[in-house]
Amino acid sequence: MQRQTIRLKIMSELFECCICLDGFTSPASLPCGHRFCLGCIGEFWRIHGACQCPLCKALFPIRPQLKTDQTLHSPSGDATVPFKSGEVPCDFCPAKYRAVKSCLECMASFCATHLEPHYQDEHLGRHLLISVLKNLEDSVCGAHGKQLSRFCRSDRTCICAMCAQTEHRGHHIVSINKEVTKKKIKLKWRKIKLQQAIEEKISKVEKIKLADLGEENRKEVWAQNEELVGQLEEEIAQLQRRNTELEQLSQTEDSIHFLQRFLHRTST
């Protein structure tokens, strides 16, 4: 029984990557003999800043050339499956597979297959890979070419780490995520107040329409009421349009795009 358990464990290690604990995708062998998914070991080295085997801890002073076993290569996704909310197609796929990373140096998004050169090539391996972004160009600082990761409350603008150390030094700076959280809470209260204003005006319209008019001056009063109802209904329509705009803004997934839209809306 014990021998069978050991055998199953060995077989599992042969066909599963110990980093993602899943079947191999473009398995790459290290000089020490251990195998991993090309993307898994590439990300492991990029995050840890050293070329080391996660299993035996063998350290490679020079980045080894990683070759993949194409016989076990699995596709990066099904191109026929519609993209989910927040997903982005690969910029280099004729079939448009789902992108798994965006590169701030290449200014492009890559599926698992087209990302492989970034893990195989030493020069491309120095590129900064980030989570997939829909609006990649809008997420990069125009002055320094770095990712916009901070928000300057003093100047009400998104900035990069370099900006924070130079022209925005000494300003009130917070992380993008912290500012987004604050703005979304503010947005929520605006929507609540808008909804209250809409309900109040609808209630006024209903009261006017249900009012019991006396015989005296009936036509004159009804004309005045009709004009007031029309004015109130126009105001309700305007408030509802604003409420729809706020709802669409609150559903903006990209943090930087959300802040840019929020700031533009409050400045106009």
Neighbours of 94 (CB within 10 A): 7
What's the rounded Cα separation, in Å, for the pair 108 and 139? Answer: 12
CA 180 to chain centre: 12
Task: Give the pLDDT of residue 108.
Answer: 85
Task: Give the pLDDT of residue 129.
Answer: 81
pLDDT in tens, 199-247: 999 998 888 877 655 555 556 666 777 888 889 889 999 999 999 999 8
Q: Which residues of the chain have pLDDT under 70?
A: 1-15, 67-81, 85-86, 211-222, 267-268
Task: Give the pLDDT of residue 62.
Answer: 83
Task: Give the pLDDT of residue 207.
Answer: 84
Planar angle of CA 36, 46, 57, nearest 5 degrees: 55
> Taking Cα atoms as reference points, which of 139, 133, 136, 140 lies closest to residue 87?
133
Task: Give the pLDDT of residue 268.
Answer: 58
Give the relative orientation of helices 176-210 and 218-250 as an angle to the nearest 10 degrees.
160
Topology annotation, domain 12-72: Herpes Virus-1 (3.30.40)
Task: Give the pLDDT of residue 15.
Answer: 66
Cβ contact 235:229 at 8 Å: no
Residue identified by tokens 């600082």 is 141
Label residues 159-186 b or e (16+ Cβ within 10 Å = b): bbeebbeeebeeeebeebeebbeebeee
| Two tokens, residue 58 | 């063998």
- Whole-model pTM above 0.85? no
pLDDT in tens, 166-185: 999 999 999 988 999 999 99
Phi, psi of 147, rounded to the nearest 5 degrees: -65, 135
Q: What is the CATH number of domain 75-132?
A: 3.30.160
Cβ contact 241:228 at 8 Å: no
DSSP bridge pairs for 35: 29
DSSP bridge pairs for 37: 27
> Taking Cα atoms as reference points, which of 171, 168, 43 lies closest to residue 112?
43
What's the rounded Cα separation, in Å, for the pair 218 and 205? Answer: 18
Q: Which CB contacts under 8 angstroms, 24+ apart, belong to 27-30?
A: 27/68, 27/69, 27/72, 28/66, 28/67, 28/68, 28/69, 28/119, 29/66, 29/67, 29/69, 30/58, 30/60, 30/64, 30/66
| Intra-chain end-to-end CA distance of the chain, in Å | 73
Cβ contact 151:176 at 8 Å: yes
Tell me how far apart the 2 most distant CA atoms of the chain are, in Å.
Answer: 103
What's the rounded Cα separation, in Å, for the pair 3 and 240? Answer: 70
